[in-house]
């Protein structure tokens, strides 16, 4: 299998989907299971939890009971077993979700500070054009209004911008996020459907769950203190092999300590989610409401010697996230076991909002409505899931394609090749996730036909099927960040 010539996507004239075209904005009634109908314009509640890998939730088979609230909610809806983000970093991931475009096409990749081009129509803008009221409460500066993520929102509350708290509570913690949500509920208009996005942050490093949660899972039956992490207090931070002084918690070097802390953050956030949902139920705001839950990316917890970070590699620890749609009386509970991309979230939500999409497509995504109904796939289009990852230069990103349990990684950058394929100069890796979920055995030589097929799929996808997108870096200079946003991003490890 020979390496293809380098393909650089040449920029074309930007195209923006306007509310009057590209998916006629008309009301529709959609039958989903047992003759149930989607109300004319459903409320949309989108809940996202930062840095949440699917395999640390009970519903995905995790041994610790980290997520009883999420488990119960998912059990009442349609859960996707193999959901994959398009780039395992917060800004790029949400740019893909809300514009239904790939990072390779929208130009929003790893670097902090590049604003989302306003030529793209975002989910909130499309819903606002449908007559929705649009509100958001977010806890991560990577999606700050500084970077245009507030496009289309009537209310956009950023937790790190709030006044200092007298009680010393984490201003970006789930408890405070709930308070901020409750503070804007009186702004909701009774005569309009609502779109509300709530973005929690707690599982993000550093793992510092509050109060009694800090000791949750420490020393339990699943605690493993046999694996130790090399520490180097002389350096500020590492992301491979060892930890620097800003990453060391309580002087501990046991991997199990950090994993337990991560799991405790999930459990804390899960408990606070229960409180938020109770508030909404008490106000009757869960009626006629589609609830969607997912994450922007996962987290590497020492796999491949990559500690407490995400974005550098396209391994499943960082790509595979939870995804479920909850709508009692409308969606029949089921589990979809085929790969799915988060790029499809926005067109799906738009259909629930009454938008009629041509062939179910919007930008580069397509509605999941047929899969939510449990319908068998039609046509001959392969159900591939595509992603990118990496810290390399513009044309050196990793390209990932998944087909069922097989996953192919095309790594163009030498440093990534060392960790993904085992040797610099070898750009190709093929993994059988069903038998090797840890992605440790490269099957390129053992399964050359599968590797070649997915390699060609990766190249075809990267060359693109969508003509009019933009180079975000060419749209303008990096923006001068608000100082509070800068401070929060430093605390999260995004900036030095």
DSSP 201-238: -TTSSS----GGGGGTTTTSTT---S-B--EETTSS--
472 pLDDT band (50/70/90 cuts)? very low
pLDDT above 70 (res 26): no
pLDDT at site 18: 34
pLDDT above 90 (res 8): no
Q: Which of 30-39, 121-130, 303-312, 315-324 has the lowest mean pLDDT?
A: 30-39
C-alpha to C-alpha distance for 251 and 243, rounded to whole angstroms: 11
Closest CA to 371 of 25, 32, 41: 32
| Dihedral sign (CA 391, 396, 401, 405) | negative
Instruction: List the beta strands (DSSP E) in 327-435.
Output: 334-341, 361-362, 365-366, 385-389, 398-403, 406-410, 428-432
Q: Which of 84-88, 114-118, 209-213, 224-228 has the lowest mean pLDDT?
A: 114-118
**CA distances (Å), 485 to each of 142, 374, 449, 452, 476, in order?**
8, 43, 48, 44, 20
Tens-place pLDDT, residues 408-455: 999 998 889 999 998 889 999 999 999 999 999 999 999 999 999 999
pLDDT at site 109: 77
Mean pLDDT in residue range 27-50: 70
pLDDT at site 35: 39
pLDDT at site 39: 73
pLDDT above 60 (res 4): no
C-alpha to C-alpha distance for 3 and 417, rounded to whole angstroms: 14
CA angle 116, 121, 127 (to 5 degrees): 125
- Tokens representing 336 are 């979809």
Strands 307-309 vs 300-301: parallel, antiparallel or unpaired: antiparallel
Closest CA to 91 of 235, 296, 360, 285: 296
C-alpha to C-alpha distance for 73 and 75, rounded to whole angstroms: 5
- Residue 321 or 237, more confident: 321
The architecture CATH gives domain 43-380: 3-Layer(aba) Sandwich (3.40)
- Tokens representing 322 are 């939870």
pLDDT above 80 (res 83): yes
pLDDT at site 451: 97
Mean pLDDT in residue range 62-70: 98
**CA distances (Å), 310 to each of 189, 287, 350, 448, in order?**
39, 36, 30, 29
C-alpha to C-alpha distance for 71 and 101, rounded to whole angstroms: 30
3-state secondary structure of 194: strand
pLDDT above 80 (res 464): no
Mean pLDDT in residue range 362-389: 90
Closest CA to 124 of 152, 88, 100: 152
Tens-place pLDDT, residues 136-157: 999 999 999 999 999 999 999 9
Looking at the chain, the whole-number percentage of residues with pLDDT higher than 90 is 74
21 pLDDT band (50/70/90 cuts)? very low
C-alpha to C-alpha distance for 119 and 224, rounded to whole angstroms: 50
> Is-contact 299 239, C-beta < 8 A?
no
pLDDT above 80 (res 258): yes
pLDDT at site 486: 74
Global confidence as pTM: 0.90
pLDDT at site 491: 74
pLDDT above 90 (res 116): no
C-alpha to C-alpha distance for 431 and 435, rounded to whole angstroms: 9
pLDDT above 50 (res 11): no
Domain definitions of the chain by residue range? 43-380
- Average pLDDT of the chain to the nearest whole number: 88
Q: Which of 82-86, 229-233, 459-463 has the lowest mean pLDDT?
A: 459-463
pLDDT at site 475: 47
- Residue 170 or 482, more confident: 170
């Amino acid at each position: 299998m020979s390496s293809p010539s380098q393909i650089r996507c040449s920029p074309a004239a930007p195209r923006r989907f306007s509310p009057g075209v590209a998916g006629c904005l008309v009301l529709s009634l959609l039958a989903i299971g047992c003759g149930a109908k989607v109300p004319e314009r459903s409320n949309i509640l989108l809940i996202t939890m930062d840095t949440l890998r699917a395999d640390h939730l009970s519903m995905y088979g995790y041994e610790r009971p980290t997520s009883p609230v999420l488990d119960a909610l998912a059990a009442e809806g349609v859960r996707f077993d193999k959901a994959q983000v398009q780039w395992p970093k917060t800004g790029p991931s949400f740019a893909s979700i809300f514009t239904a475009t790939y990072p390779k096409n929208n130009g929003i990749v790893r670097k902090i500070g590049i604003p989302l081009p306003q030529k793209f129509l975002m989910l909130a803008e499309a819903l606002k054009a449908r007559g929705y009221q649009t509100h958001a409460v977010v806890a991560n500066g990577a999606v700050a209004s500084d970077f245009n993520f507030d496009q289309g929102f009537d209310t956009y509350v950023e937790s790190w911008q709030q006044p200092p708290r007298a009680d010393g509570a984490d201003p970006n913690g789930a408890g405070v996020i709930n308070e901020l949500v409750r503070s804007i509920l009186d702004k909701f208009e009774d005569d309009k459907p609502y779109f509300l996005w709530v973005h929690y942050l707690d599982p993000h490093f550093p793992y510092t769950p509050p109060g009694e949660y800090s000791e949750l899972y420490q020393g339990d039956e699943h605690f493993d203190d046999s694996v130790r992490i090399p520490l180097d207090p002389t350096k500020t931070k590492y992301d491979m092999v060892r930890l620097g002084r800003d990453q060391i918690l309580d002087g501990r070097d046991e991997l199990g300590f950090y994993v337990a802390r991560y799991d405790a953050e999930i459990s804390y956030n899960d408990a606070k989610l229960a409180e938020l949902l109770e508030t909404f139920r008490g106000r009757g705001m869960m009626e006629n409401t589609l609830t969607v839950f997912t994450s922007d990316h996962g987290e590497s917890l020492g796999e491949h010697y990559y500690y407490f970070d995400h974005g550098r590699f396209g391994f499943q620890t960082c790509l595979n996230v939870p995804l479920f749609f909850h709508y009692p009386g409308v969606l029949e509970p089921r589990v979809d076991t085929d790969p799915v991309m988060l790029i499809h979230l926005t067109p799906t939500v738009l259909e629930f909002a009454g938008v009629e999409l041509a062939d179910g497509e919007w930008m580069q995504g397509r509605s999941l409505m047929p899969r939510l109904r449990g319908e068998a796939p039609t046509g001959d289009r392969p159900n591939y899931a595509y992603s990118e990852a990496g810290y390399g230069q513009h044309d050196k990103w990793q390209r990932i394609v998944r087909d069922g349990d097989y996953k192919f990684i095309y790594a163009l950058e030498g440093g990534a090749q060392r960790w993904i394929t085992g040797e610099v100069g070898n750009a190709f890796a093929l993994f059988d996730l069903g038998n090797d979920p840890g992605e440790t055995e490269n099957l390129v030589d053992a399964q050359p036909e599968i590797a070649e097929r997915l390699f060609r799929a990766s190249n075809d996808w990267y060359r693109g099927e969508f003509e009019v997108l933009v180079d975000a870096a060419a749209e303008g200079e990096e923006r001068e960040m608000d100082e509070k946003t800068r401070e929060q991003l430093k605390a999260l490890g995004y900036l030095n």
